[in-house]
């Protein structure tokens, strides 16, 4: 595997060397008028086989909310998506992709907290890796409990955890998500959004507000 690039000083695209080949990555920094905090949030995208990429509107809005909270954000395309090499691996190899990007963030920003967020399939992948990666904050948007992913095998998160779920989700069974959460020995902050579909149509600004409100008390102190 070739040496990885440094963490950029400005927003932009880069390529990491991943376990299945190149990984396409987008790093975005907070605007100049935002007080920056020492944390980097990784945001994982929905199912590639259904058109999910790091440019998904829910993913980009979640990243925007986190940047407005002072964090740098890292989005990346799982293997076989966009310019990322390899082929879809049902969530297994995608966990290896996530590990690679997280290792790069920690190696290049060792003084920063690592936060982990994901939408739909990306929520499953990030939940499956949370016990290993131990992020300082975990954000799950419409986690697909009850679909084809093995949520029973997920270790109950022990870090601060925000779950955002639309009550009118036509892809993920909202009640199934709530039942899954009820069965865990965990106390996540759950934001139930009424009249909200899976892709948060006409509700993206509400999602942005829910994330900013949900993470506020968990933000690390700003440098300076």
Q: Tell which phi-psi region holds residue 110, choosing left (phi > 0), alpha (psi between -120 and 50) or beta.
A: alpha
| pLDDT computed for residue 3 by the predictor | 87
| pLDDT computed for residue 185 by the predictor | 87
| pLDDT computed for residue 1 by the predictor | 59
Inside any domain, residue 135? yes
| pLDDT computed for residue 223 by the predictor | 73
List, for residues 38-88, the tens digit of each pLDDT value: 999 999 999 999 999 999 999 999 999 999 999 999 999 999 999 999 999
List, for residues 76-101, the tens digit of each pLDDT value: 999 999 999 999 999 999 999 999 99
The pLDDT confidence band at residue 224, using thresholds 50, 70 and 90, is: low
Inside any domain, residue 24? yes
Inside any domain, residue 4? no
Inside any domain, residue 7? no
Alpha helices in the chain (DSSP H): 57-68, 92-108, 121-133, 174-182, 204-215
Residue 203 domain boundaries: 12-216
Inside any domain, residue 2? no
C-alpha–C-alpha distance, residues 76 and 12, integer Å: 12
List, for residues 5-39, the tens digit of each pLDDT value: 999 999 999 999 999 999 999 999 999 999 999 99
Q: What is the CATH number of the domain that holds 129?
A: 3.40.50.1820
Mean pLDDT of the chain: 96
Number of domains comprising the chain = 1
Inside any domain, residue 5? no
Inside any domain, residue 3? no
C-alpha–C-alpha distance, residues 44 and 123, integer Å: 7
Task: Fill in the DSSP letter of residue 79.
Answer: T
Report CA-CA distances (Å) from 209 to 189, 203, 213. 14, 10, 6
Inside any domain, residue 68? yes
List, for residues 100-147, the tens digit of each pLDDT value: 999 999 999 999 999 999 999 999 999 999 999 999 999 999 999 977
Q: Is pLDDT of 206 > 80?
A: yes
């Amino acid at each position: 595997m070739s040496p990885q690039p440094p963490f950029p000083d400005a927003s932009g695209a880069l390529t990491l060397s991943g376990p299945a080949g190149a990984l396409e990555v987008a790093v975005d920094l907070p605007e100049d008028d935002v007080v920056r905090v020492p944390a980097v949030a990784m945001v994982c995208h929905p199912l590639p086989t259904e058109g999910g990429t790091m440019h998904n509107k829910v993913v980009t809005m979640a990243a925007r909310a986190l940047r407005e909270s002072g964090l740098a954000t890292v989005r990346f395309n799982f293997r076989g998506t966009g310019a990322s090499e390899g082929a879809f691996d049902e969530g297994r190899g995608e966990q290896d992709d996530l590990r690679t990007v997280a290792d790069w963030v920690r190696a290049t920003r060792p003084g920063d907290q690592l936060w982990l967020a994901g939408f739909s399939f990306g929520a499953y992948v990030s939940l499956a890796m949370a016990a290993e990666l131990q992020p300082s904050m975990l954000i799950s948007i419409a986690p697909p409990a009850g679909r084809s992913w093995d949520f029973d095998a997920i270790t109950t998160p022990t870090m601060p955890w925000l779950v955002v779920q639309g009550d009118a989700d036509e892809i993920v069974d909202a009640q199934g998500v709530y039942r899954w959460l009820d069965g865990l020995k965990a106390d996540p902050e759950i934001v139930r959004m009424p009249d909200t579909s899976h892709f948060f149509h006409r509700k993206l600004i509400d999602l942005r507000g829910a994330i900013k409100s949900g993470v506020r008390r968990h933000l690390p102190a700003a440098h300076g």
